[in-house]
Amino acid sequence: MECVVEVEGAEKRYPGGVAAVNNVSLTAGRGIHVFLGPNGSGKSTLLSMIAGVLKPSAGRITVCGKDLWGPRGLDARKHIGYAPQDPPLRPLLTGYENLVRHALFRGLSLGEARRRARELLELVGLAGAADRKVGEYSGGMKRRLTVAIALVGDPDVVVLDEPSTGLDPTARRELWDIVVRLREEGRVVLLATHYADEAEALASKVYIMHRGVVAAQGTVAELKERYTPVSVILVEAKEAPPNPEEARSSLMLPGVEDVVVEGPVFRVYAARPNVVAPRVLEAMVGYGVEVRELRILEPSLEDVYFKVTGTTLRGEGVGG
């Protein structure tokens, strides 16, 4: 029977009535489910609740048909592997020793723990560094080891909270390969990120998180079709305008649907970009902006995020 994660009306409120997560409901089966949003959007809090480490203030979460916070909560947690942002790694132990330690915590015998540790080190590409102390690992190696720890119990559900934050492009690609393999193995993968390109590369389904709620959800193609049926004219100026809102207003020309100004970068949304682009360039020169580059881009998930929430994935934006 396929394992499914079901969230019904989940909330997390802190003293003073602050809602980090507010009335979220969703169903996640096999595939990679990406929760996209900046810091403070509620995605990490939501995944912590689904992972069984943070109790909801209200609502119900079931994993493989078992209530995570009910009488069968311990059974439900056996189906979950969790890789938090700050992994519980022991820097003076080797990668192999860290994995054996966690396998023993999961109830494996010493022999099973050793075998499982070797298997997982091979899976995440760390077999050659098994006997090195984790304190000597690079950031990418530590992230891969954290994923390996989440897989110790061979879980049906793998929860990854910002797994690629701070990694260089090569390390990110290596991590993505591991995540794709988890999907191919038929697992339910729940992944939080603030990187739009990561969501586009990996997601079976995307949940756009904003102020503690799921503001929109769907496949990448569905979200783009629904929210950004326009292209983006990306203009890079020599320097940021002194008055971003005034600069934005000067570019609200016929045929322009919206403008976002982020420092020296202008994103102009238009359904007919080839017609609008010359007018945009003329308006920017008239406003006194020295243009370095102008490109026409197909919409990205970052554009979708702005259209849905009115903010960027850095948590702020200028525009309507």
- Give the model confidence (pLDDT) of 165-224 as tens digits: 888 899 899 999 999 999 999 999 999 999 999 999 999 999 999 999 999 999 999 999
- Write the single-letter amino acid at 283: A
Q: Which of 167, 200, 224 is the last residue of a domain?
A: 224
Domain membership of residue 312 (yes or no) is: no
pTM here is 0.81
Domain membership of residue 307 (yes or no) is: no
Same-domain check for residues 275 and 154: no
Same-domain check for residues 52 and 134: yes
- Give the model confidence (pLDDT) of 229-268 as tens digits: 788 899 999 999 999 999 999 999 999 999 999 999 999 9
Same-domain check for residues 280 and 179: no
- Give the model confidence (pLDDT) of 102-135 as tens digits: 999 989 999 999 999 999 999 999 999 999 999 9
Same-domain check for residues 147 and 175: yes
pLDDT value of position 315: 64
Q: Which domain does 293 fall in, by range?
A: 230-298
Mean pLDDT for the stretch of residues 287-307? 90
Domain membership of residue 308 (yes or no) is: no
Domain membership of residue 219 (yes or no) is: yes
The band of 318, judged by pLDDT with boundaries at 50, 70 and 90, is: very low
Domain membership of residue 96 (yes or no) is: yes
**Domain containing 71 — which CATH number?**
3.40.50.300
pLDDT value of position 314: 81
Same-domain check for residues 216 and 240: no
Domain membership of residue 309 (yes or no) is: no
